[in-house]
């Protein structure tokens, strides 16, 4: 285990918090439609910050630790693209005005960071106490990969979300977004706006993604600091990436299949590590550089194949995939009606 000082943790968390504050201030002070140029600039900025951190980390703690960070970052970044699919569906389902999408994404990322920090602490504790958790995490990822591959051509049904259904049932909701507020008082009655429901949907959906992404990155590294940093820097760029690529997401028709393959690969890696530790030292392990190569190769092949497919067949459309089946057309019909 790396000897990460309390000061290093504090500075890292402070940097991430400062970047989040900038996003929150910009979203609250100047609601506006984020254009391609602005989205590109912010995306490049966050990637450069993540790369600069990785270079410093490798120089400070060694090449192996740096490789683990970059592998974890790429895993989380690729999984976050699937998050973007779901974000697009949520924005469309609830007809979120363009000027409020920046705020929704920033708050959603804050919620995601908090939840993932909790999962990281819990996962690190469990792995330190019980080595068989590597087996359980591996089986979870393989199960998720199988389900994602089976339902790779489906969309998650946002309206079927438990929190969204409960909020609609028990909370009074306004008809419009009321200037991007979360709640308003109408004739002495406190009511939530659709923006509140949207935040619930994004937060709860990202909680489900954390159930996969945290075990996945623990399959690349068992250092809690690296897991946290990889997740945080991948999520920080998610808001800008949403505005940059949302028009191109429909072309990544093989992304869900590729992510299923990556999750299955990391699941096997975790199981082999468990067998190496608890069964027999002769059981081979998959080294991190090989993992990085496999993940990079899968993403490259998936991207190229998707672009070639959509060039030959312009009607082909990508889907984020779902972990369970839904009645045909249910999610699509909700989006077409613009539920809000």
Kindly state whether residue 1 falls inside one of the protein's structural domains: no
> The whole model's pTM is what?
0.76
Looking at the structure of the chain, the number of domains it has is 1
For residue 32, how many C-alpha atoms fall within 13 Å in the half-sphere facing its CB? 10
Per residue in 227-254, pLDDT (tens digit) is 999 988 988 877 778 777 776 777 888 9
Domain that holds residue 71: 12-312
Burial annotation 166-187 (CB, 10 A radius, 16+ → b, else e): ebbeeeeebeebbebebbeeee
Q: Are 206 and 112 in contact (CB under 8 A)?
A: yes
Q: Residue 334 — very low, low, confident or very high, per pLDDT cuts 50/70/90? A: very low
Two structure tokens written together for 41 = 């600039």
Kindly state whether residue 306 falls inside one of the protein's structural domains: yes
- The DSSP secondary structure of 191-227, one letter per residue, reads EE-HHHHHHHHHHHHHHHHHHHHHHHHHTT---HHHH
Kindly state whether residue 64 falls inside one of the protein's structural domains: yes
Kindly state whether residue 328 falls inside one of the protein's structural domains: no
Q: Give me the pLDDT at residue 54, please.
A: 95
Question: CB under 8 Å to 150, separation ≥6 — which residues?
Answer: none
Per residue in 273-293, pLDDT (tens digit) is 899 888 888 889 888 888 888
Kindly state whether residue 340 falls inside one of the protein's structural domains: no
Kindly state whether residue 326 falls inside one of the protein's structural domains: no
């Amino acid at each position: 285990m790396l000897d990460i000082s309390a000061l290093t943790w504090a500075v890292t968390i402070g940097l991430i918090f400062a970047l989040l504050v900038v996003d929150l201030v910009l979203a609250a002070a100047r609601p506006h439609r984020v254009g391609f140029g602005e989205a590109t600039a912010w995306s490049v900025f966050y990637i450069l910050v993540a790369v600069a951190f990785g270079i410093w980390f490798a120089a400070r703690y060694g090449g192996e630790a740096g490789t683990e960070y970059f592998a974890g970052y790429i895993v989380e970044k690729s999984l976050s693209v699937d998050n973007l699919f779901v974000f697009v569906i949520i924005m469309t389902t609830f007809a979120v005005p363009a000027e409020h999408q920046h705020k929704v994404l920033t708050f959603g990322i804050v919620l995601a960071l908090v939840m993932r920090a909790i999962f990281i602490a819990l996962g690190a504790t469990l792995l330190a106490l019980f080595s068989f958790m590597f087996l359980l995490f591996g089986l979870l990822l393989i199960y998720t990969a199988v389900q994602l591959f089976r339902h790779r051509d489906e969309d998650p049904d946002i309206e079927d979300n438990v929190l969204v259904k409960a909020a609609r049932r028990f909370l009074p909701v306004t008809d419009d977004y009321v200037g991007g507020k979360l709640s308003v008082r109408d004739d002495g009655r406190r009511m939530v706006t659709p923006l509140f429901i949207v935040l619930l949907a994004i937060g709860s959906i990202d909680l489900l993604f954390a159930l996969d992404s945290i075990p996945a990155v623990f399959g690349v590294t068992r250092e809690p600091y690296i897991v946290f940093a990889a997740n945080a820097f991948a999520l920080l760029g998610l808001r800008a990436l949403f505005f940059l690529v949302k028009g191109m997401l429909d072309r990544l028709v093989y992304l869900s299949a590729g992510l299923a393959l990556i999750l299955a690969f990391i699941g096997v890696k975790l199981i082999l590590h468990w067998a190496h530790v608890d069964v027999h030292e002769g059981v081979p392990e998959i080294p991190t550089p090989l993992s990085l190569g496999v993940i990079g190769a899968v993403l490259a092949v998936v991207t190229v194949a998707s672009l070639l497919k959509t060039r030959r067949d312009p009607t082909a459309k990508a889907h984020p995939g779902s972990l369970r089946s839904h009645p045909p057309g249910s999610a699509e019909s909700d989006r077409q009606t613009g539920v809000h």
